[in-house]
Amino acid sequence: MVSERPRPMAPSRRNKIPVAVLGATGMVGQRLALLLSDHPWFELVELTASTRSAGHRYADVVPWRLERPLPGAIGALTVRETSVADVRAPLVFSALDASVAREIERPLAAAGHLVVSNASAHRMDDDVPLVVPEVNPDHLGLLGAQQRGGDGGLVTNPNCSTIGLVLGLAPLHRAAGVRRVVLSTLQAASGAGYPGVSSIDLVDNVVPGIPGEEEKIEAEPRKIFGSLDDSGAGGVIEAGIEVSSHTHRVPVIDGHLMAISVETDEGLSVARATELMASFRGEPQERGLPSAPSSLIEVVSAPDRPQPRLDRDAGGGMSVTVGRLRPCPVLGLRFELLSHNTWRGAAGGTVLIAETLVARGCLP
Amino acid sequence: MVSERPRPMAPSRRNKIPVAVLGATGMVGQRLALLLSDHPWFELVELTASTRSAGHRYADVVPWRLERPLPGAIGALTVRETSVADVRAPLVFSALDASVAREIERPLAAAGHLVVSNASAHRMDDDVPLVVPEVNPDHLGLLGAQQRGGDGGLVTNPNCSTIGLVLGLAPLHRAAGVRRVVLSTLQAASGAGYPGVSSIDLVDNVVPGIPGEEEKIEAEPRKIFGSLDDSGAGGVIEAGIEVSSHTHRVPVIDGHLMAISVETDEGLSVARATELMASFRGEPQERGLPSAPSSLIEVVSAPDRPQPRLDRDAGGGMSVTVGRLRPCPVLGLRFELLSHNTWRGAAGGTVLIAETLVARGCLP
Amino acid sequence: MVSERPRPMAPSRRNKIPVAVLGATGMVGQRLALLLSDHPWFELVELTASTRSAGHRYADVVPWRLERPLPGAIGALTVRETSVADVRAPLVFSALDASVAREIERPLAAAGHLVVSNASAHRMDDDVPLVVPEVNPDHLGLLGAQQRGGDGGLVTNPNCSTIGLVLGLAPLHRAAGVRRVVLSTLQAASGAGYPGVSSIDLVDNVVPGIPGEEEKIEAEPRKIFGSLDDSGAGGVIEAGIEVSSHTHRVPVIDGHLMAISVETDEGLSVARATELMASFRGEPQERGLPSAPSSLIEVVSAPDRPQPRLDRDAGGGMSVTVGRLRPCPVLGLRFELLSHNTWRGAAGGTVLIAETLVARGCLP
Amino acid sequence: MVSERPRPMAPSRRNKIPVAVLGATGMVGQRLALLLSDHPWFELVELTASTRSAGHRYADVVPWRLERPLPGAIGALTVRETSVADVRAPLVFSALDASVAREIERPLAAAGHLVVSNASAHRMDDDVPLVVPEVNPDHLGLLGAQQRGGDGGLVTNPNCSTIGLVLGLAPLHRAAGVRRVVLSTLQAASGAGYPGVSSIDLVDNVVPGIPGEEEKIEAEPRKIFGSLDDSGAGGVIEAGIEVSSHTHRVPVIDGHLMAISVETDEGLSVARATELMASFRGEPQERGLPSAPSSLIEVVSAPDRPQPRLDRDAGGGMSVTVGRLRPCPVLGLRFELLSHNTWRGAAGGTVLIAETLVARGCLP
């Protein structure tokens, strides 16, 4: 990854920012722990989980299920309770379930922490930015109103499917205006956490209708592609994009695949769409952030790609891969898109937001 | 299954119609052999395969991969070559690859055999009926023109995905006129035959873009929903339905699942669509044909159904199952549909065509 | 299945024996419900589950995951609590977890019910028969001592892996004395119940070391192959068979496969072992019991069989299939054995015990 | 990996040894290409495949199925024919099928190439070393006899299952003398190559009896643990170890799991076996070879490990992982062992042999 612009806020090795991970024993918490065990700017110093796990060594309570081993130094950390009193780090990553997130994320922000959350609890709140750093980093401006003079704040990372979808649509939307989208997802088991989906349901089987997922995929892009309300009222004016999603769980460990048909205001040839996607980059690429993939959208030409097992790790799991770009006889354009649901779609996306905040000088 | 009408042509047990299966060692050929081993009207007397297998006992050359054992009497049959000279039975089921079908199906018909084919070779030919017996049995009328006085003829069974799709659309089309459809398929491995897809491609993976499949799914419904040209020119005037399909192979043995969004000329409420689907029946049900499911479309209410492993055997594999019927914010209506790709979608569909032909008195 | 002997106790259709299933919502409970929905001797009248489910229709609370649909009449039954007060049926099938079984099975027996249990709680109790009806039906004699004049009693069905193993060893043991056994299992997901094993653990993976399984597989055969103690002390004198088992969970829905090496007191050729296995039958076959497979051990010759998906339903799921019989350079003889873990290994085995009890006139 | 001894023969970056890979389009060939694309001593300059692929860019003909992308520089190489005339590199890695290997490996050696082969064709030849570098590097001494003055020679890498087995047994054998072994394997699909096993056979299924595998697993350890015949006759005097193997194919991409029971001449406690295994190292570790894992045998304590997905990449795929070490009631000691079948078991093992040869100065 090459960036010509200087990294304005790169903390030095000596002076890493201490960070906490809330809900560290789940699948997303595990990815966050792995990612932060070796981050150039952040130092993972606190892990929290439920009361049952608190007080134990992380290695002793986490059902580690990642393909790489648990780093020893992280495993040795003592798990804390998920409470305002137990968290000290100025920068907090939340991988909590929505119900727990709803209770603690606002109080943590009020107590001065900058909380970057993967939970769905507050994503659609008026004063909370819902951010994909390459797409709508300007929404981080909502933090100002939210903080009202204090230091803390709450920023949210979208649903794992939304992120891939929005990254694929963004270059088309900017150039031609996305109006309507019909998509089907083939989503990995890790998206349901651990233990999540029973093996009985995913051997010789796929399952349609992931609970709560379609609503998020259809609502979140409207906010992400929306514009900041500069009338003084605050909040985001949602974009008029109509999305219809069909969701499915498939026997794949990691990587959400989506079959997407798109209608745009202005016509887009396959060649133009390919060019727009392949050249798309955003603030993270401009700033050369540590987690930003240099090639954001990998456009591939093989007729049977992208595939989850072969393509999910593109760009260290932070790129999305697009294939089968071709005309759609109904909506105009169609393609397949793959993104790693626990890297780009969760842990990595959350960390990239934090890196953007640091680079923008938003951290106290 | 209850039918009030008498079965007009039900052959007696003593007087079964001798039938042949061409391409009997493949996955569809195996299903045909299984189905025909115990059919009330037909008696399987001839099996053909490639030269390599000819002359051997079927049991010794078929890579049997069905969940039920190969019936002993069928296994004992000697495999013949796939040639006009080697086939004697008046009624012939073809499970040949398209390339072989292209060479032999017409000559067989010309030699006086009634050929019901699962191959794609002649599906779109002007004078060849492409039939789903519950949807367009009247297209069998094309046979007259085709035969020109002789006895033989060629009828084709649609692509395995097309059949499920068309059965789900038919009640909507009749009531409200289907205009545009966007669908994504999650297709079973058996659809690619044996050995078909490598296990390397379907462990922790799904594969988009099944070769040749999307073209068929998009073209065949136009013919099936078309009307016979009564201008004297023969052939079918295609319906103006626009279909966009995204296909995927998933690690499932049998059962194609489809996520379908539909736009109709007239609005359709979910309640009305449910009623139309649940009550849909056709000529096979009217006539009480042996392979006709009494409940053609099973509409289920659980939010995570249909699922391939749990629903594919509905109606002995001859029903389709529809679930998740709900409004589509883009096209109007959406749902999930499952059909068994080698029963309804291939072997069973082919036999149901033959039963329809017999019941209509089309057999010499 | 042909039997020359009359069925001594076959209850008439009018006069079926009312039966209950305890723990009816689990995987084994579901199989029991399915099996008993259409049993010639038994009529399923009561289903119990945990307090949470009690009072609801069975169809509304059971997470049905079988490949055949839930029979309507069974689905309509109201679930009862698992308590002595709530059970009326004279014959009770228990599919309870061991911990619940430990509390209620003895009290039910004391209250006059004949309890046939699939739970492990009391299998190794001195006065409780642990029975595979083809192998040690004489152990049912322990019931006399257990009942002490009353009517009730408790009989147990072995572990699902033990049953297959014991059926495969029995003909060898009778003829040549089994001394030592080393086996590895590849066990289906359904053996762990529902939700049981997470899909995260069984996609692109297998898991060694099923908790508690190896101890059962190693201990239970010693009791089953043991002889009744006729010294008056009661109980069973265990056989001196040494078993070493390695267990694994694999991504298979149903069917436990085992690779078995056996050492016998007397030498056994492969031909002799094949003959002994293929001709093995027991009291259920002699009596022509409804659930008894006529061909108890299917010996197959293909070098890559048995396989779970293709062979588990042999004999309606009640036969075991043996293949790859060949000399073992270390212990003498080796082979692969497959048995359906929820039919023969659980629900079917339990019902076969009950049928044996009825045929022997053990039911009040 | 830390080594105190100097690397005696480490070629400088400037002066890498040119190497060829024969049979480069298969699964093992792909791993070799990946490994050699970034090797400190070797530079991949030639790839060969069948006539059909020759003349094309490697990227255009290889069905790349690895989880990491094909390196661009390797993909750009032009594939050559697999013939003596087409190979120039002094060091040649063979990933050929046995039938092709049988024809070309000896001629290549006679032409002066040092051939390190993964093929089974010549493994059991008297004058050909069959080597696991940590176990029997002294067998490389056979090369002298083989070469008879010339430069070339042929060395073979054992079967992928044999390598894991032999690494696990070696520390026990040295300390206590391994006498008899019974093992069952659960082998990954990649071991059968691409396309290899059909997905129809590995969805909801496992397959026993991998063709040709058991013979290799039972014969090769006798040669590897054998001693050089110093009587002047040449060859290896085989060790008197009796091995019985049951093989199975399971739905796993990479990683062979084995359940092993061992009888040794002298008793071994679990504690002692653990210590022996955990501390085991050999010449590659002593010499600090590039592909040598510092921790050769990872002994893990979790009761459900090792698992293919979680443990196969230990030591970069070059370590083996042992778990569940416990007494075996039949043979004395038992455990589970996992090794990566295409890294340690094939490509990596082959390269480690070559590194050993270079370090010993065997290369011309």
Residues A102-161 pLDDT 10s: 999 999 999 999 999 999 999 999 999 999 999 999 999 999 878 665 679 999 999 999
* Mean pLDDT in residue range A73-85: 96
pLDDT above 70: percentage of residues in chain D: 95
Tokens of B78: 């000697």
Is 60 exceeded by the pLDDT of residue A216? yes
Its pTM stands at: 0.95
- Kindly state whether C65 is in contact with chain B, defined as any CB-CB distance less than 8 angstroms: yes
- What is the reported pLDDT for A139? 97
Q: What is the pLDDT of residues D160-190, one digit of tens each?
A: 999 999 999 999 999 999 999 999 999 999 9
Task: State the average pLDDT for chain A.
Answer: 94
Alpha-carbon gap, residue B66 to B31, rounded angstroms: 8
Tokens 């790349």, residue? D64
Reply yes or no on domain A160-340 having CATH 3.30.360.10.
Answer: yes
Third-level CATH fold of A13-158+347-359 = Rossmann fold (3.40.50)
Is 50 exceeded by the pLDDT of residue C288? yes
Asked if the bond preceding A195 is cis, omega within 30° of 0, the reply is yes
- Kindly state whether B197 is in contact with chain D, defined as any CB-CB distance less than 8 angstroms: yes
- CB contact under 8 Å between D69 and A314, yes or no, is yes
- Kindly state whether B177 is in contact with chain D, defined as any CB-CB distance less than 8 angstroms: no
Q: Pick the catalytic residue from C39, C122, C139, C160.
A: C160
- Kindly state whether A303 is in contact with chain B, defined as any CB-CB distance less than 8 angstroms: yes
Most D CBs within 10 A among A30, A60, A62, A203, hence the mutation to make, goes to A203
Q: Pick the catalytic residue from A113, A173, A256, A340.
A: A256
* Mean pLDDT in residue range A192-219: 98
- CB contact under 8 Å between C313 and B68, yes or no, is yes
Please compute, for residue D208, the number of CA atoms within 13 A of its CA located in the half-sphere on the CB side. Answer: 32
- φ and ψ of D155, to 5 deg: -125, 145
Tokens of D212: 């040709």
> Chain B closest CA to C204's CA: distance in Å?
6
- Kindly state whether D199 is in contact with chain C, defined as any CB-CB distance less than 8 angstroms: no
- What is the reported pLDDT for C1? 36
Specify which residues C177 forms β-bridges with: none
In chain D, which among 210-239 make CB contacts under 8 A with chain B? none
- CB contact under 8 Å between C198 and A194, yes or no, is yes
Strands D242-246 and D320-328: unpaired
In sequence order, the 6+-apart residues with CB closer than 8 A to the CB of A262 are A169, A172, A178, A180, A181, A328, A331, A332, A333, A334
Q: For residue B331, give the nearest of A182, A248, A305 by CB distance.
A: A182
- Kindly state whether C314 is in contact with chain B, defined as any CB-CB distance less than 8 angstroms: yes
Task: State the average pLDDT for chain B.
Answer: 94
Higher pLDDT, C15 or A42: A42
* Mean pLDDT in residue range C61-79: 95
- Kindly state whether D200 is in contact with chain A, defined as any CB-CB distance less than 8 angstroms: no
Decide: residue C231, CB within 10 A, 0-12 exposed, 13-18 middle, 19+ buried: exposed
- CB contact under 8 Å between A65 and D310, yes or no, is yes
Enumerate the domain spans of chain A.
13-158+347-359, 160-340
- What is the reported pLDDT for C364? 63
Chain D residues whose CB is inside 8 A of the A253 CB are 309
Q: Which helix (H) or strand (E) holds D155?
A: strand D153-156
- What is the reported pLDDT for D15? 87
User: Would you say the ipTM is above 0.90?
Assistant: yes
Closest-CA residue of B relative to C304 is B63
Q: What is the pLDDT of residues A252-275, one digit of tens each?
A: 999 999 999 999 999 999 999 999
- Kindly state whether D324 is in contact with chain C, defined as any CB-CB distance less than 8 angstroms: yes
Tokens of D60: 């255009």
- CB contact under 8 Å between A314 and D68, yes or no, is no
Give domain D160-341's CATH number out of 3.40.50.1950, 3.30.1490.20, 3.30.360.10, 2.30.30.90: 3.30.360.10
Task: State the average pLDDT for chain D.
Answer: 94
Third-level CATH fold of B13-159+347-359 = Rossmann fold (3.40.50)
In sequence order, the 6+-apart residues with CB closer than 8 A to the CB of A351 are A32, A35, A36, A39, A42, A93, A116, A291
Q: pLDDT-derived band of residue D11, with 50, 70 and 90 as boundaries?
A: low
Q: Which helix (H) or strand (E) holds D228?
A: strand D227-228
In sequence order, the 6+-apart residues with CB closer than 8 A to the CB of C193 are C26, C27, C28
Chain D residues whose CB is inside 8 A of the A62 CB are none
- CB contact under 8 Å between A195 and C190, yes or no, is no
> Chain A closest CA to D295's CA: distance in Å?
14
- Kindly state whether A310 is in contact with chain D, defined as any CB-CB distance less than 8 angstroms: yes
- Kindly state whether D67 is in contact with chain B, defined as any CB-CB distance less than 8 angstroms: no
**Residue C57 has what DSSP assignment?**
B
pLDDT above 90: percentage of residues in chain A: 91
CATH H superfamily, domain B161-341: Dihydrodipicolinate Reductase; domain 2 (3.30.360.10)
Domains A13-158+347-359 and A160-340 share a fold: no
- CB contact under 8 Å between B336 and A218, yes or no, is no
Alpha-carbon gap, residue C282 to C278, rounded angstroms: 12
- What is the reported pLDDT for B231? 81
Alpha-helical (H) ranges within B197-315 are 199-202, 213-224, 270-278, 283-287, 308-311
Chain A residues whose CB is inside 8 A of the B240 CB are none
- Kindly state whether A65 is in contact with chain C, defined as any CB-CB distance less than 8 angstroms: yes
Q: pLDDT-derived band of residue C234, with 50, 70 and 90 as boundaries?
A: confident
Most D CBs within 10 A among C65, C206, C243, hence the mutation to make, goes to C206
Q: Determine how many CB atoms are found less than 10 A away from the CB of residue A38.
A: 11
Task: State the average pLDDT for chain C.
Answer: 94
Q: For residue A309, give the nearest of B204, B211, B242 by CB distance.
A: B204
Alpha-carbon gap, residue B173 to B175, rounded angstroms: 5
> Chain A closest CA to C32's CA: distance in Å?
18
> Chain D closest CA to A281's CA: distance in Å?
22
Q: Order of strands across the sheet with A242-246?
A: A242-246, A178-186, A256-264, A332-339, A320-328, A297-299
Alpha-carbon gap, residue B356 to B352, rounded angstroms: 6
Q: What is the pLDDT of residues D55-86, one digit of tens each?
A: 999 999 999 999 899 999 999 999 999 999 99
Q: What is the pLDDT of residues D188-230, one digit of tens each?
A: 999 999 999 999 999 999 999 999 999 999 999 999 999 999 8
In the predicted model, residues of chain B with pLDDT beneath 50 are 1-8
Tokens of D344: 């340690």
Most B CBs within 10 A among D200, D201, D202, hence the mutation to make, goes to D200
Of residues A90, A38, A33, the one with CA closest to residue A64: A33
Asked if the bond preceding D195 is cis, omega within 30° of 0, the reply is yes
| Residues of D belonging to the active site | 160, 256
Give the number of B-C residue pairs with CB atoms closer than 8 Å. Answer: 22
Specify which residues D348 forms β-bridges with: none
Give the number of A-B residue pairs with CB atoms closer than 8 Å. Answer: 137
Most D CBs within 10 A among C307, C310, C325, hence the mutation to make, goes to C307
Chain B residues whose CB is inside 8 A of the C189 CB are none
State whether residue D315 is helix, strand or coil: helix
Chains in contact with chain C (at least 3 beta-carbon pairs closer than 8 A): A, B, D
- What is the reported pLDDT for B226? 98
Tokens 């002995």, residue? B316
Alpha-carbon gap, residue A74 to A64, rounded angstroms: 12
- CB contact under 8 Å between B199 and D199, yes or no, is yes
